[in-house]
Structure formats: structure tokens, C-alpha cells
Amino acid sequence: MKYTRTLLAVVAVGAISSPALAQDAVDGTFTGPRVEILTGFDSTKAGSDIDDELNEDNDQSIEGVLYGGAIGYDVALGSFLVGAEAELTGSTADTEVDEGDFEGFGFGDVETGRDLYLGVRAGVLASPNLLVYAKGGYTNAKYDIRASDGTTEFTQDIDTDGYRLGAGVEYALSERTFAKLEYRYSNYSRAELDFPNDVPDSDRFDIDTDRHQVAVGVGYRF
């Protein structure tokens, strides 16, 4: 969380100091509906309640490449901008054995499934072509448990719920196109097991899982 607080503090300072640079109303460059594609770095790790803090070599994390897309809609409020967004992403991160150390981060042998995000963002123009923003919302991620009896492979979904906070910058390449760089922190605190073949899902249970992502994206505004 210390990284999240630092980034959000930077955004807050930018929001206070940059109104003199911003226009009274965003001229359309950063407003309206948008679509974007995303890629970047994705890391899921055990939260403080689960991580093996006694062994500094056991980081209990999995890393991979983030990929996916998002849609959103932004409106201007004077020199500020607010918007809503939805995102669907995946990741190549999965559990591995690192020099004999099994990195299960509390879930066992898993691979990362899809991640859904619904949230809002607010920002201010640092220059006519540069938007600085913070964001937050709800995230629902799946992790696929893998198991084998030596002959047959089994998979089982863990469906997790949590929140996401983030901050980033967006640069207008033209009136319609843009590029962005963003950091996001997610915490998942509740989960259930999803069973196949119309079997009811398990009761919800507590978890403590952290997720750190650095995403880059390009998009188009309509």
C-alpha cells in the first residue's frame, strides 16, 4: 500500500498545482467515449496475513504479462475531467517452482484467469495534451487451480472480489488517439469456489491477496 499512497499523493499534488496550466473546459481531446488496448506487467502475491515474512527468499508471488482492453467515457467539469470505465484483462502469470521453492501465495498451483474491473477516474490537465489522473473501483478476478492424480488433470476456479486503486498519465497523440501509462494496486479479500456442471458455488470465504500492475495502453476516442 505504501506505493499506492505515494502515487496518489503525486497525483493530488499535480491536481493542486496544475489548474493554472489547464483550460477552463477540456476542448474535446480528453472527453467522450473511448476504447483502448492494454498490456504490461502483472504480479499477484500473498497479502500480509499469508506471506512468509520469516523467509525473505520466499516472496510468494507470481508474475506475468498483462493483456486486454477497456472502454470508458469522460466528461469535463471546468478544468477537471471525470469518467467511468470498464476493463477486461488476462495475464500469463502462473505458479512455478523457483529453485525448489513452490510459490503458491496461499492458493496452491494456479494460473491467472480473467479480471473484470468497473470504476471511475478523475484528473486534471497538466498541459493541453497531458492528463494526470487517479482511479478506483471494483475488481473481480479468477484464478484456476490445477491438480492431477497422475493420469488426469483437474482445474477449479477461485472467484475473488476486491477493490482497485491507481494513478496514471494519458497523452493525446491527436484529437482522437492517445497513449497512457498507469500503475494499479488491487486487493482481494473475499472469494468462492466455482464448481462446474450446475453444482452450487461454495460459501464465500476470506482471503488476502495483493496485485500490482504497471499497464501501458493506446486508444481511440469517438
pLDDT digits (tens, 9 = 90+) for 43-68: 998 776 655 555 555 557 889 999 99
pLDDT in the model for residue 78: 77
pLDDT in the model for residue 51: 55
195 vs 32, higher pLDDT: 32
Q: Is the pLDDT of residue 175 over 60?
A: yes
Give alpha helix (H) positions in the chain.
2-17
Distance CA 201, CA 206 (A): 15
Q: Domain 2-221: give its CATH architecture.
A: Beta Barrel (2.40)
Q: How far is CA 171 from CA 65, 70, 80, 162, 216, in A?
A: 23, 17, 15, 29, 11
Q: Where are the domains of the chain?
A: 2-221
User: Contact, 217 vs 38, CB < 8 A?
Assistant: yes
Q: Which of 9-18, 93-102, 121-130 has the highest mean pLDDT?
A: 121-130
212 vs 105, higher pLDDT: 212
Q: What is the mean pLDDT of residues 194-206?
A: 71
Q: Is the pLDDT of residue 14 over 50?
A: no
121 vs 145, higher pLDDT: 121
pLDDT in the model for residue 101: 64
Q: Is the pLDDT of residue 220 over 80?
A: yes
pLDDT in the model for residue 205: 83
pLDDT band at 93, cuts 50/70/90?
A: very high
Task: Write out the three cell numbers for 177.
Answer: 488517439
pLDDT band at 8, cuts 50/70/90?
A: very low
Q: Is the pLDDT of residue 40 over 90?
A: yes
pTM for the model stands at: 0.79
CB count in 10 Å sphere of residue 41: 16
Of 46-55, 117-126, 140-149, where does mean pLDDT reach its minimum? 46-55
Q: Is the pLDDT of residue 106 over 70?
A: no
